[in-house]
Amino acid sequence: MNMEIVKINPLMKVTVLTGAGISAESGIKTFRDGDGLWENHKVEQVATPEAFEINPELVWDFYKQRYQASVNAIPNQGHYALVKLEKALGSNFKLITQNVDGLHHRAGSRNILDMHGNVERCFCTKCRKHFKLSDIDMNVRLPLCSDCHGLLRPDIVWFGEIPYHLDAIERLILNSNIFIVIGTSGTVYPAAGFVMTAKYKGAVTIGINLEKPHNIDYFDHFYVGKAGDLLPELIKQWL
Ligand code: OAD
């Protein structure tokens, strides 16, 4: 592990990947901490296309709760520190997030790729039209499309589905000078593999997490702790 402090200049291309850990201090539960159950469900039981086919009511109930939790949460110092970094770097800063809670958007980050979707949106399984959850009747157990009456589903990338923006993400990773990973356990692919590719392509890789993740070997610099505590100070040092 390299102990030198990284210096970022505005010409460097910086890509950040975030996971559930960055939203933990906003009160959003992570996936794999604690007993491995998520609101008493195994993640796979509510986050697969098969689960939605078998029991769409359960899956919708679950994501309506996630939506309420996200809407009620507020961004924390970790989210705001990344907004500061983006302000310093402009379009050389890109943020890839696995989180669906929308907190980076609400904090004010702009260059965001929501690779796993967004809990504030849904789309029609028949005609693919997208809707905001705030625009549909949430009291209906199974919301239907106002255009074609097809069943709506949460705009979440479930297990077995292909994440969004993979082409753009690949280009970013191949061209990054610095690749920073925050608050993710490094267990869900393809995101867990991004740091390896970035490192092999010559980026300086930096990790921040409450505990050591599975892919720790690919980090040049690693900081153990809470993102909301560490990020504001680290970003001051990097800039
Ligand atoms: P995980 O729950 O797997 O990992 C969260 C990581 O954040 C853990 O390693 C924690 O130790 C760490 N952590 C907790 N609090 C933290 C804090 N305050 N600061 C820094 N780190 C902290 O969540 P993800 O890695 O994001 O996919 O999970 C990846 C994907 O698995 C999710 O996007 C989700 C899930 O299935 C979908 O829903 C499609």
State the pLDDT confidence band at 35, using cuts at 50, 70 and 90: low
CA of 132 to the centre of ligand 1 (A): 25
CA of 20 to the centre of ligand 1 (A): 4
Report, as residue numbers or ranges, the catalytic residues. Answer: 116
Alpha helices in 138-238 (DSSP H): 166-174, 194-200, 227-238
Query: pTM of this prediction?
Result: 0.95
Nearest-atom number in ligand 1 for the CA of 18 is 26
Give the model confidence (pLDDT) of 88-129 as tens digits.
999 999 999 999 999 999 999 999 999 999 999 999 999 999
Q: Is the dihedral of CA 213, 3, 180, 170 positive or negative?
A: negative
Domains contained in the chain, CATH given: 1-28+75-116+163-239 (3.40.50.1220), 30-72+121-156 (3.30.1600.10)
CA of 145 to the centre of ligand 1 (A): 32
In angstroms, the CA 210 to CA 212 distance is: 7
Q: What tokens were used for 165?
A: 């923006």
Looking at ligand 1, which residue's alpha carbon is closest to its atom 31? 188
State the pLDDT confidence band at 29, using cuts at 50, 70 and 90: confident
**Binding pocket residue ranges, ligand 1, CB within 6 Å:** 19-21, 24-25, 30-33, 43, 47, 98, 116, 156-157, 183-185, 187-188, 209-211, 213, 226-227
Looking at ligand 1, which residue's alpha carbon is closest to its atom 29? 188
Give the model confidence (pLDDT) of 150-202 as tens digits.
999 999 999 999 999 999 999 999 999 999 999 999 988 999 999 999 999 99
